[in-house]
Amino acid sequence: MRKILFFMLLSSSVAFAQQEKPLRKSIETDTRAIRQDVPMTNSIRKAFEEGSRNFSGKPGENYWQLETDFTIKASLDPSTQTITGSEKILVHNNSKDDLNAIVLRLDHNIFRGDVPRGSSVPAENTEGMIVTSIKVGGESVNLNAAPRRSRNDPTTLSVRGLQSTVATITLVNPIKAGTTAEVEIDWHTKLPGGDGGRGHRMTQRFDSTLFQPTQWFPRLAKYDDLRGWETSLYLGPAEFHNNFGRYDVSLTVPAGWIVTGTGVLQNPTEVLTPTVAERFANVLESDTEVTLVGEDEKGPGKATKAGDKLTWHYVADKVNDFAWATSDRFIWKAIKADIPGKGEVPIYMVYIPERAKYFEKAGEITKHALEFYSKLWTPYPFPQLTLQDGPSAGMEYPMVINSNQLAADHEAAHQWWPMMVGTNETRYGWMDEGFNQYMNILSDADSRGVDYNLDGLGQNYGRISGREDEAPLMWSANDAGSMYGFQTYSKTPLMLSMLGGIVGDEAVINAMKKYTTTWAFKHPSPWDYMFFMDNELGQNLGWFWYYWLFTTESVEGSIQDVSSANGKTTVTVHQAGEMPSPVVLQVEFEGPASITMPNAKEINDTTVELTWPVSVWFDGSRTFDAVMHFGNLKIKKITLDPHGRFPDRDTADNVWPK
């Protein structure tokens, strides 16, 4: 999802917090109990017991994941703005469980007027996802049965929730562990339009000339080793958790309409004119941006083959969703990215003429993003990427970003999270959007040719911490409420700023690089991330994860006193918050100084930085005497947390003399 809005949210949250009077010191306790481990919920304990996950943070010996292969045939009628489709889902039950039910995700039911919604409200209500037929293993499901199967009729398959965003099919014959089963579904849905809803997935067409179908077909919900079926409702703001699999999709549209989407086009010569097909085949031959379909080439016989209707055939392997776009007005351009260790991949862009200004820099921005993130984490794994114009201008799907240049970098980054590392965005949005915001900071600096700088970010959280409407990061993103944007997007870079202040930013980046590779095309939990980072960084950071992920506490440090005698200087540091941190003091002298203390690092010839580990607080004390041996050197200034990495509401008391 787009990032610009949520930097604004962070700024407004900070501004609001600055207006509040700090009350913590008036109710502060004399001591505190520092928790040094993380809570282990029943779901992660179960996974540990079964050996699918463990304290290494890597997939366990018994790790498994469901796979779903889709074959979809769908047609779009622009005059009614309706997609009619049929699909077959091959369910690979790789679990050790016999599945007594199948859970479907019917996200388009959010466009009905009678379903629960979050802050995302459509501009146009529709009838939602209309399912007309379901079969499991060739046997028809009773779409009108009572909510539960009758005890007197044990041979009837039934479904409940077809008008909700989550529906459950009750099975007569379970899908046995280690076997496959086929689910067949017929359906139709109208794509909502209007002047734009609150939430950029809420409008999926410009009139009847451009369509951006997303979450447009019945999907199988995620089933995993942690909690079985993920049955959280789709409310709009929080996003997805899907199974990986293969998609074979045939899309029928009127001739003259260009179709782009997830995967690789299998039949370019059947749908494109010979001229356009040749350009499409040679797109990697040019080192500059090329035009596949120009403004004067639109229509049957020019952009596409002539006729009444054409069927575009796309195939994608190892993806967790499928999105597409189509228009009879698209300009189609391309540029290529050089992926380290892989080679060249095309980046396509489709947009309507009057919005061309939003795509002038889109290709170069996206090219930089794919190349930079491939070096940062692991090579871009897919064979292409497409930017699709439309009312949804900041959304991501495998190999597809509904975006223009304004959010191109951010949306391209989502190809790593969650399109490759399949995090549960519905519950733990910080593992998706939050990591994304962090890497966007690094990419932005690289694009400008400067070093990244994470100083100050961690400290900023001190001005937000303590608000009653802030949900902890481990609180389900689906239920985060008014501060969803801060919880899901903005807080994680602040957390990783502090972590970098403890172990070094490069150490954090290198550990996350290995984490990305380890969990590629798998589904890590927060505990996997925490334990993996602990092992890679060589530290027990349970205290760090606990306070950042499970609480909304801050450090709130200050310098209380400075005294010098007999060549020894003592700085009394106080922490009023519940979160501990290392003690980092920067000391500036009146003249050149040479300090030999083992915890000292020379910044320049007059300045040193001294660090004491977080463990100095583990005895429960709120004050710590940092003793330094400087002899007769004259101190000019002492600064606590000089790089602004630890959450602190009031930084004025971090400097001596005041």
Helix (H) or strand (E) holding 68: strand 67-77
Nearest to 124 by CA among 116, 112, 115, 114: 112
Identify the sign of the CA torsion 644, 436, 215, 208: positive
Extract the tokens encoding 16.
């609001």
Instruction: Classify residue 219 by its DSSP letter.
Output: E
pLDDT of residue 28: 82
Instruction: Classify residue 490 by its DSSP letter.
Output: I
pLDDT of residue 195: 84
The CA distance from 123 to 219, in Å, is 24
Extract the tokens encoding 602.
């020379």
Cβ atoms of residues 65 and 224 within 8 Å:
yes
What totals of helices (H) and strands (E) does the chain contain, helices first? 13, 32
Nearest to 363 by CA among 289, 291, 415, 413: 289
Identify the sign of the CA torsion 478, 484, 486, 490: positive
pLDDT of residue 6: 42
Count other C-beta atoms under 10 Å from residue 156's C-beta: 16
- Note if the bond before 383 is cis, omega within 30 degrees: no
User: Which regions in the chain score pLDDT beneath 70?
Assistant: 1-26, 146-155
Helices 505-518 and 491-503: crossing angle in degrees, nearest 10, is: 120
pLDDT of residue 2: 52
pLDDT of residue 393: 87
Which are the contacts of 188, defined by CB distance < 8 A and separation ≥ 6?
A: 82, 83, 84, 85, 130, 132
pLDDT of residue 147: 56
**pTM beyond 0.85:** yes
pLDDT of residue 14: 45
- Amino acid identity for residue 346 in this structure: P
Instruction: Classify residue 554 by its DSSP letter.
Output: -
pLDDT of residue 148: 55
